[in-house]
């Protein structure tokens, strides 16, 4: 049920073109690369759309082949992209995935999405969604993007829209001492917060899920992921833990987004905490076994 809203979820954030080797070899040794797309927020939207939820994604892309590929890929997954702005004067960001365990290489400086701002937000229907989903990647892109998220939260709270925030710290984009207070302020204002136990320790010095909850008492729902061990949800005074299933990991990028989508799908369907965490693990397991951020039809 969408409770009278147009969308179950509206995701806001940058999506880039993604290039990956077609076989499990290092980038430097690859002769053929596959062109796909990847973005934390749109990953969540695509997963949810494939699960049958009405969702939208809002952002900016360049007027270039990569921007067209981003829009085509996301809309083909069933996501409403009508609120995406095409900027003729900026490029779409690009990133490359290296071999297993070697991470990614970003080429996103001065991208179209880095131009998102509070003024741009006037054309985005935040109040039309049950949930607005954002991540800690966006404020690292530019000063205007940092201001954008504050405006998103303010509009959501005025409109009785829940704010879902994935901390999603990216060390390649900004240092810990700069990111930590910004991400903390955003987490404190959100209704649902997703964070990794390890990233929270890096940012705020919290070593356990319980420590994180003591540090972040504000969010109604706090979900702490602990890699292959499992995930814990704190809902008021209640605490629920569900162990992660064993999987053969091919590539880990995108698994956190899949987990968030699985959890949010269950939450939107009014399932209990244990079921929501289990749904998160299930979707994350599929992502961990693929080189694609959002495994699906080729």
Catalytic residue positions, numbered? 257
Cα separation, 258 vs 261, in Å, equals 5
Helices (H), ranges, 90-215: 143-158, 176-189, 197-204, 209-215
What are the two backbone dihedrals, phi and then psi, of residue 225, each rounded to the nearest 5 degrees? Answer: -95, 135
Q: How many CB atoms lie within 10 A of CB 171?
A: 11
> How far, in Å, CA of 120 to CA of 98, rounded?
34
Buried b (16+ CB within 10 A) or exposed e, 106-122: eebeebbbbbbbbebbe
DSSP state of 27: G
- How far apart CA 229 and CA 150 sit, in angstroms, is 33
Tokens standing for residue 183: 């991400």
Provide the angle, in degrees to the nearest 10, between the axes of the packed helices 176-189 and 143-158.
Answer: 10
Question: Of 46, 69, 66, which is closest to residue 56 (Cα–Cα)?
Answer: 46
284: left (phi over 0), alpha (psi -120 to 50) or beta: alpha
């Amino acid at each position: 049920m969408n409770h009278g809203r147009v969308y179950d979820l509206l995701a806001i954030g940058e999506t880039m073109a993604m290039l990956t080797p077609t076989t499990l070899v290092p980038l430097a040794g690859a002769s053929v690369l596959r062109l796909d797309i990847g973005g934390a927020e749109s990953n969540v939207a695509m997963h949810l759309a494939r699960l049958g939820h009405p969702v939208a994604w809002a952002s900016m892309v360049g007027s270039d082949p990569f921007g067209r590929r981003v829009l085509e890929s996301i809309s083909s997954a069933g996501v409403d992209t009508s609120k995406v702005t095409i900027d003729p004067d900026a490029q779409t960001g690009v990133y490359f995935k290296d071999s297993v365990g070697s991470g990614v290489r970003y080429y996103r400086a001065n991208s179209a999405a880095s131009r998102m701002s509070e003024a741009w937000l006037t054309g985005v229907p935040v109040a039309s969604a049950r949930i607005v989903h954002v991540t800690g990647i966006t404020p690292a892109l530019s000063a205007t993007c940092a201001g954008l998220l504050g405006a998103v939260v303010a509009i959501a709270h005025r409109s009785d829209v829940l704010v879902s925030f994935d901390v999603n710290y990216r060390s390649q984009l900004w240092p810990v001492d700069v990111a930590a207070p910004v991400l903390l302020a955003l987490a404190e204002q959100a209704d649902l917060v997703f964070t990794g136990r390890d990233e929270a320790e890096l940012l705020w010095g919290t070593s356990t899920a319980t420590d994180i909850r003591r540090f972040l008492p504000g969010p109604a729902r706090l979900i702490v992921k602990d890699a292959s061990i499992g995930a814990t949800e704190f809902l008021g005074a209640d605490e629920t833990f569900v162990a992660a299933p064993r999987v053969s990991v091919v590539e880990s990028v995108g698994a956190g987004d899949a987990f968030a989508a699985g959890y949010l799908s269950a939450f939107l369907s009014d399932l209990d905490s244990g079921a929501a965490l289990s749904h998160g693990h299930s979707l994350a397991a599929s992502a961990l076994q693929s080189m694609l951020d959002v495994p699906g039809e080729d």
